[in-house]
Amino acid sequence: MGRQVAQAVAAESDFQLVGLCDLREIPADHVEAFAPDAALGTHLAGVIAESSPNIMVDFTDAAAGSPNILTAIDAGVSPVVGTTGFALEAIDEIDARARAAGIGAFIAPNFALGAVMLMRLCETAAPFFEHVEIIELHHDKKIDAPSGTAYQTACGIVDARGRPAAHVPTEKFTLEGVRGGDHEGVKVHSVRLPGLVAHQEVIFGDLGQTLTIRHDSTSRESFMPGVVLAIRKVRSLTGLVVGLDRLLFT
């Protein structure tokens, strides 16, 4: 994702890619074709100090993401973040620090525009179906489950219904856990396999009918238009905004 984001940023004529940071040293010849003048390093604060960016894009994990975000905010740099799994306390701290610094910050569980449309369509359908289950499928290197997108989808469905989804009891389990996780009646199932990128299927059911809404990201390129959109808008935000729908529909 880091390489994909770097190339997408460099391809925009009104953006300048000024710095790149990774846990491992980045060979200059790996980026000279699209960012020959970018500062390179393994220490985020040092790269920020050397390159003086306006915006930082972070795709790491929740453990690294929170200190990275706060490092950027303390330097007056607006973070655009594709990491999920933050604790509520971390979200609150990021928002407070961004507001105190007078800058915007942005986190999205999913940057694919189609995934955001899926969530919006699910919220539209939710009040009309009593039963719903979510199946999310990701590559085998994804460290958290369920995905942030699946969890946000489940939350959005329950909020749109104004009540939990209907519970379907299972009398006998041959294997524990096969009915998936449960968020207020919305069952969530996680699949992790090599060959997948990011996929989600939401199945609504009622008497005599089902409604299936599905989105597939077959390449990480699918996330880049959303990343570019967030980069363009983050400096106009105040405090922390979570979710690409907040940029698309408000």
Residue 186 shares a structural domain with residue 206: yes
Mean pLDDT of all residues in 31-36: 86
What's the confidence (pLDDT) of residue 169?
87
**96 in the same domain as 175:** no
Do 212 and 227 have their domain in common? no
pLDDT reported for residue 83: 81
**pTM of the predicted model as reported, rounded to 2 decimal places:** 0.83
For residue 33, name the pLDDT band (cuts at 50, 70, 90).
confident
Annotated active-site residue in 141, 142, 187, 189: 142
- Pair 36, 86 in one domain: yes
Regarding whether 99 and 7 lie in a shared domain, the answer is yes
CA neighbours within 13 Å on the CB side: how many for 203? Answer: 10
- The phi, psi pair for 202, rounded to 5°, reads -120, 125
CATH number at residue 117: 3.30.360.10
138 is catalytic: yes
CA separation (Å) from 22 to 6, 27, 39, 40, 47?
12, 11, 12, 8, 10
Q: Dihedral (C-alpha) 156, 169, 135, 132: value to the nearest 10 degrees?
A: -40
User: Could you tell me if 101 and 58 lie in one domain?
Assistant: yes
Range of the domain at 239: 2-107+221-248
Active site residue 142: yes
* Same domain assignment for residues 235 and 189: no
Residue 31 has pLDDT above 90, yes or no: no
From 138, 183, 187, 215, the catalytic residue: 138
Query: Could you report the per-residue pLDDT of 82-98, keeping only the tens digit for each?
Result: 887 788 899 999 999 99
Instruction: Check residue 153 and give its pLDDT.
Output: 95
CA pair distance 181, 132, nearest whole angstrom = 13
Provide the domain count of the chain. Answer: 2
- Mean pLDDT across the stretch 219-223? 91
